[in-house]
Chains A and B, each alone.
Chain A
Amino acid sequence: MHEGNAVKTKNDFVRIKKGLKFQPLLLLTNYKHCVIIVFELILIRNDFMYRIIRKAILNPTVTLMEIEAPLAAKKAEPGQFIILRTDKNGERIPLTIADFDRVRGTITIIYQIVGATTEKLNYKNKGDYIEDLTGPLGIPSKTDGLKKVAVVGGGVGCAIAYPIAKKLHANGVCVHSIIGFRSRELVILEDEFSEASDMLCIMTDDGSYGEKGLVTTALKSLIEKGEVYDEVIAIGPLVMMKFVSALTKEYGIKTTVSMNPIMIDGTGMCGCCRITVGGEIKFACVDGPDFDGHKVDFDEAIKRGSIYRKIERAAHEKVCNLYQNINED
């Protein structure tokens, strides 16, 4: 994140408008045609904008993409997310900003292939374009006044935890990172975390790498050993955040979790991202995504998260078959 020497473009609002010519439209008398052409012009414009400039496979199911999105990059802060649509029939999905480069005007996303949209996204390569990208959204993670922090990441959640660890570390905060994965081949961002942490502890469920066990085991033993944290930041699967929060509650350590529910607009318009925090309804997209882990109703969030799972799986298979057929043809 090259914060200091961010170049200020002369005018942020001058975007690439090649191919936008309205005059010929005036000759058309059938407005339906005009509408279609306008639609297409809008598409053309977007085509110039969100280009994938790097793609890296981090593990068999997790991929990194660096995308040109100068406006989002300019304002991005750790903890925020973007919403993207892969193509014109695509759904809007939220993805956390894993890194950003204000100079290059890019943001990095890291995603796990879980459904039709991430599958489609994954078929895009370097040089391809993303249809729509909006952001940065959500409230940035609060890092002020912290001196010593435990950052706990689980699975692909490490992608969200990493920029926060990086920022804290850069601000001189003592960072202890505990990152957990199912097994060795799923480990991601090890080098990045080790650079951004004063201490790094890697856990795997099967013990094939690092220590065997859950992130909560490691966190508990650190606390028991006498480490005193101002805050624990836990980001990963809901179940993991639930257990980390339960543990830290016992010790009375302030805990922040990052919620990642289903979203559509990301601007507070649909309410499908709602979660219960301290007995109140909150919208993760505008009130979060960070919340007090001791107040979040994780059980409800877990049940709400399962709503589209069946449909998702079917859609995912459909996309896979589609691409398979294309490849075979």
Chain B
Amino acid sequence: MANMSPEKNEVRCQEPSERIKNFDEVAYGYDVETAVSEAERCLNCKNKPCVDGCPVNIDIPAFIGKIKQREFVAAYKIIRESSSLPAVCGRVCPQEKQCEERCVRGKKGEPVGIGRLERFADTFYSSRPESFKTPELPESNGHKAAVIGSGPAGLSCAGELIRMGYSVTVFEALHVAGGVLVYGIPEFRLPKTIVQREIYRLMNLGVTIETNTVIGKTFSIGDLFENGFKAVFIGSGAGLPNFMGIKGENLNGVYSANEFLTRINLMKAQQEDSDTPIMPVKNIAVVGGGNVAMDAARCAKRLGAENVYIIYRRSENEMPARKEEVLHAKEEGIIFKFLTNPAEITDGGDFSVNGVKCVEMELGEPDESGRRSPVPIEGSEFILEADSVIIAVGTSPNPLIRDTTEGIKTNGRGCFITDENCRTSIEGIYAGGDAVTGAATVILAMGEGKKAAKAMDEYIRGNITI
């Protein structure tokens, strides 16, 4: 009999007053019994609306069915057929806009906790000895394929290619692999051991990861082909932070979210034994309404900031951040200033921030994206006291590859132009993830990496037979 409770099973979380003092994961995840109980809420719908909402079409009712039957490893394997990073996606996907948005149970009450179940299946599987076994790989076909960038797009592409028998090398500019998963998304939302585990699994399959290697500088894409790589996948992400172009943006104490998060996540600036400094702050204003803004604000809180504001120019409904993160941020005492736009960052006299001059906004007509665009209310200016400002208003791809690869086509925002098979304008070069779409999501990047691997395989095999 299905569990007809209108609400999701709660997931245990660290208490807000406790968790703002540490960087440990906030949500603990379901235990076995809770997971089975949640799985029993699924109606196993014939037309599977949730699957249509999933960007990589995981067979959701099938894996949930396995959880119902307590066949947790089988559940994991079903997810794994469509997703390379279940541990990550279960934690960071915006489920409320994807699978869970379409879930039939959501019409009356809350949808099935698909994300939480996905995370559970992975946790269970990963604690089993068999998760450490190297799966049977097809015999090596002797061909080399290169992957640029070790974010979710690159990792999933590499994982697919090695399983097809290619010898795969991933080139990563930074000193650790993982892309945004390590330098952007904080520990309390996605523990770094999980990312390391995924990378370990890939290395165990035989993927070579070359860190400290910047394509476009250390090697050009041409060098890769010369060195025998038959096809190249660009998964270099969209890391370059945008600024707003307002007065005071270069004052000391103004950071891009990437800088702030990198200092903490990648360089561990908050730890005693790290050499990377971070400024202590009291009042901090974060500009933006996405996951990046939430992450920066919650990190600031954990660093001991007293007042953390989020300044967002639209209303709460338009915020692109994951719902759960917004909720957690509120619980942690982050102060939201909706319908507010920063007009200037003010100088306290010694080239450091002392406040943000803001304008209140109201929602006007819907714009081309369907969201109602905000317009300033005249005479509503006010000053928000702050000694630091974090800008989280989006990112674009860096110019390293496009400036050094002749003939590769990009659009006005610097994103690589690809066809439906991830092919760029140059033969043998494929691209996917944020490098193509601009800042998007982990699951989309992962899906593209997978799709590109298939296309690369066809391309390489096609070339051999000729």
Closest Cβ neighbor of B220 among chain A residues: A75
| Chain B residues with CB below 8 A from A307, complex form | 252-253, 279
| Chain B residues with CB below 8 A from A71, complex form | 213, 218-219
A267 contacts B398, CB within 8 Å?
yes
- How many angstroms between the C-alpha atoms of A35 and B227 in the bound complex? 31
Per-residue 0/1 for B251-278: is the Cβ within 8 Å of any A Cβ (1 yes, 0 no)?
A: 0110110110011000110010111110
Chain A interface category by residue count: 35 or more
B183 contacts A35, CB within 8 Å?
no
Taking A31-B126, A32-B193 as contacts, is the C-beta distance between A90 and B277 under 8 angstroms?
A: no
The stretch that binds B, out of A57-65, A127-135, A242-250, is: A127-135
Please tell me the number of chain B residues within 8 Å of chain A, measured between CB atoms: 59
A267 contacts B204, CB within 8 Å?
no
A25 contacts B204, CB within 8 Å?
yes
The listed residue (B196, B208, B250, B279) touching A281 by CB distance below 8 A is B250
- How many angstroms between the C-alpha atoms of A85 and B277 in the bound complex? 14
| Chain A residues with CB below 8 A from B183, complex form | 265, 269
Taking A264-B259, A265-B174, A269-B262 as contacts, is the C-beta distance between A286 and B398 under 8 angstroms?
A: yes
Residues of A within 8 A of B (CB): 11-13, 15, 22, 25-26, 28-29, 31-32, 34-35, 38-39, 42, 71-72, 75, 85, 89-92, 116-117, 120, 131-137, 264-272, 274-276, 281, 283, 286-287, 300, 303-304, 306-308, 311-312, 315
| Chain B residues with CB below 8 A from A137, complex form | 214, 217
Residues of B within 8 A of A (CB): 126-127, 129, 131-134, 169, 173-175, 183, 193, 196-197, 199-200, 203-204, 208, 210-214, 217-219, 223, 227-228, 239-241, 243, 245, 249-250, 252-253, 255-256, 258-259, 262-263, 267-268, 271, 273-277, 279, 351, 398-400
B132 contacts A92, CB within 8 Å?
no
| Chain B residues with CB below 8 A from A92, complex form | 175, 267, 276
B250 contacts A276, CB within 8 Å?
yes
Identify 5 new A-B residue pairs, CB closer than 8 A, beyond the known A39-B196, A92-B175: A25-B132, A35-B196, A42-B211, A274-B250, A287-B399
The listed residue (A132, A136, A311) touching B211 by CB distance below 8 A is A132
A267 contacts B275, CB within 8 Å?
no
The listed residue (A15, A267, A315) touching B277 by CB distance below 8 A is A315
| Chain A residues with CB below 8 A from B268, complex form | 89
- How many angstroms between the C-alpha atoms of A276 and B276 in the bound complex? 24
| Chain A residues with CB below 8 A from B197, complex form | 31, 34-35
Give 5 A-B contacts (CB < 8 Å), ordered by A residue: A34-B132, A264-B263, A267-B239, A272-B255, A306-B351
| Chain A residues with CB below 8 A from B243, complex form | 271, 274, 281
| Chain A residues with CB below 8 A from B249, complex form | 281
| Chain B residues with CB below 8 A from A272, complex form | 255-256, 259
* Most A Cβ at <10 Å: residue of B175, B197, B271, B279: B175
| Chain A residues with CB below 8 A from B223, complex form | 12
Closest Cβ neighbor of B263 among chain A residues: A264
Taking A12-B219, A136-B218, A311-B277 as contacts, is the C-beta distance between A91 and B258 under 8 angstroms?
A: no
- How many angstroms between the C-alpha atoms of A13 and B213 in the bound complex? 11
- How many angstroms between the C-alpha atoms of A29 and B268 in the bound complex? 28
